[in-house]
């Protein structure tokens, strides 16, 4: 999440400034309609660090800034939606498929209350219909360039989506898609 946030902020001419063990940053103008603070101070991506400071902003799924950022990058306003991306790492040359991004909610009962943990779960389904666990993180965070957007040779994503759902059901124990999973794109 930290790398993704750093790249998003850099794209919008903002920096994640380290202040001791925490970070500080100005919110990009494109996220202002989401009603966020103008500046975040004492922000961290480390849960343990956030637990020990009541004034800490724990930047994780469910935080208003992170949620607004993810919603924005999934919109057409972002301009980052491309039907084809070419990973620059030669190790992945010739591999193709679909990248699906999900958020899985896990409910944990603690004492007299429930807590929800949110997990970002990307799934890469190769052109042959198999889930490719080696390429998934490179597809999410790796350097890539926009590829040709020609529609020829690009298979229908419906079968790949069904395969990604089945994989996620098995991996994360998902059984209630309506309540436990959000499909980002």
- Give residue-wise pLDDT tens across range 43-57: 999 999 999 988 999
Q: Give a yes or no: residue 78 inside a domain.
A: no
| 68 and 97 inside one domain | no
Which of helix, strand or coil describes residue 142?
A: coil
What is the residue range of 23's domain? 2-73
Whole-number pLDDT of residue 149: 47
| 106 and 169 inside one domain | yes
Answer yes or no: is pLDDT of 81 > 70: no
| 173 and 92 inside one domain | yes
**91-117 confidence digits (pLDDT tens):** 888 888 888 888 887 777 777 777 777
pTM of this structure: 0.53
Residues pairing with 161 in the sheet: none
Single out the residue in 24, 40, 73 at which a domain terminates.
Answer: 73
**141-162 confidence digits (pLDDT tens):** 777 665 554 444 556 678 888 8
Place of tokens 């350097």: 143
Answer yes or no: is pLDDT of 184 > 60: yes
Spatial distance between the Cα atoms of 145 and 182, rounded to a whole number of angstroms: 27
């Amino acid at each position: 999440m930290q790398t993704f946030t750093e790249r998003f902020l850099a794209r919008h001419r903002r920096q994640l400034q380290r202040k001791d063990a925490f970070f500080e940053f100005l919110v990009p103008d494109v996220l202002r309609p989401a009603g966020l603070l103008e500046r975040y101070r004492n922000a961290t991506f480390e849960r343990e660090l956030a637990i020990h400071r009541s004034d800490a902003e724990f930047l994780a799924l469910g935080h208003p800034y992170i949620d607004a950022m993810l919603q924005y990058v999934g919109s057409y306003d972002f301009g980052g939606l491309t039907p084809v991306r070419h990973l620059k790492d030669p190790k992945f040359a010739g591999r193709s498929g679909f990248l699906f991004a999900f958020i899985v909610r896990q409910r944990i009962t603690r004492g007299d209350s429930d807590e929800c943990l949110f997990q970002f779960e990307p799934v890469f389904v190769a052109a042959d219909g198999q889930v490719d666990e080696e390429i998934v993180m490179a597809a999410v965070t790796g350097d890539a360039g926009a590829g040709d957007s020609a529609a020829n040779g690009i298979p229908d994503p419906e079968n790949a989506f069904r395969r990604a759902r089945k994989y996620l059901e098995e991996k994360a124990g998902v059984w209630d898609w309506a309540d436990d999973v959000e499909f980002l794109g």
